[in-house]
Amino acid sequence: MNDEQKKPDPSTLPKKAASQALNFFYGSKQALKNINLPIYDRKVTALIGPSGCGKSTFLRCFNRMHDLYPGTRYEGQIRLYPDDVNLLDKSVDPIEVRMRLSMVFQKPNPFPKSIFENVAYGLRIRGEKRRSVLMDKVEEALKSAALWNEVKDRLDELATTLSGGQQQRLCIARSLASEPELLLFDEPTSALDPIATASIEELIHQLREKITILIVTHNMQQAARVSDFTAYMYLGDLIEFGWTDDVFFRPKEKQTEDYITGRFG
């Protein structure tokens, strides 16, 4: 009833991507059912829901990770803007897709290489050989991932000598170095302690000014803290999507309400 409660109509915002009538099957089992979800440009969108709801499956459609497994099948589209390409189109090379979208996983997975080489890796496989360019890009990525000050004097050390939280920020730096258009986070802090979690969340907060983020999280409070939009999924259906403020304070659907208040059973 007061103005602060009224947020702009999301449909007026520019989109970075959108799933359209997306179905996904593991063999004969349908894991996603007609998902229509906009991903707004330079906003953080959180996917929440109980285990098995399809949130990680949905995230993995974006970088075509399911292509690695036999017997999986997509229907519908995921459009990436502004060029309006369908990421799921057979003619689109999944390697090309993964050049444009980066994924950060649940557990930090640095390569058994130096800190520097981890971040430079994506650039090297794209053919960048100039040391000065690599140096600049690595520094920029590490700064963006809020890790530079901690590692600038030990870039040649093995990445595995870093703490868990540092390793995860290194993986984020590695993702950022290849300048992705969309950053996909699959439970990025579930293996981290509260302090490391807070630093990743702060990082997400800073990154959203530059990049669109889609994050899957089991931690609802995290979704509430870091995201602009929240999508609640259940058994492969998208139940509710809206501004995070609304979803967590005044959800429209009883199923969402039950889930976020811990009444799910």
What is the binding site for other proteins (CB under 8 A)?
Answer: 1-2, 5, 220-221, 224, 248-251, 257-258, 260-265
Q: Kindly give the pairing relationship between strand 29-40 and strand 15-26.
A: antiparallel
- Judged by beta carbon, residue 118 or residue 227, the one nearer other proteins is 227
Q: How far is the CB of 60 from other proteins (least distance, A)?
A: 27
Q: Cis bond leading into 82, ω under 30°?
A: yes
Q: How far is the CB of 261 from other proteins (least distance, A)?
A: 5
SS3 37: strand
SS3 9: coil
CB of 76 within 8 A of CB of 18? no
Q: How far is the CB of 248 from other proteins (least distance, A)?
A: 5
What does the block give as tokens for 153? 């004097």
Q: How far is the CB of 46 from other proteins (least distance, A)?
A: 13
- Judged by beta carbon, residue 1 or residue 95, the one nearer other proteins is 1
H-run or E-run covering 169: helix 164-177
- Judged by beta carbon, residue 150 or residue 257, the one nearer other proteins is 257
CB of 169 within 8 A of CB of 200? yes
What does the block give as tokens for 60? 């993995």
Q: How far is the CB of 59 from other proteins (least distance, A)?
A: 23
- Judged by beta carbon, residue 69 or residue 249, the one nearer other proteins is 249
What does the block give as tokens for 30? 């349908």
CB of 216 within 8 A of CB of 56? yes
- Judged by beta carbon, residue 234 or residue 248, the one nearer other proteins is 248
Q: How far is the CB of 192 from other proteins (least distance, A)?
A: 18
- Judged by beta carbon, residue 24 or residue 248, the one nearer other proteins is 248
Nearest to 256 by CA among 238, 232, 228, 235: 232
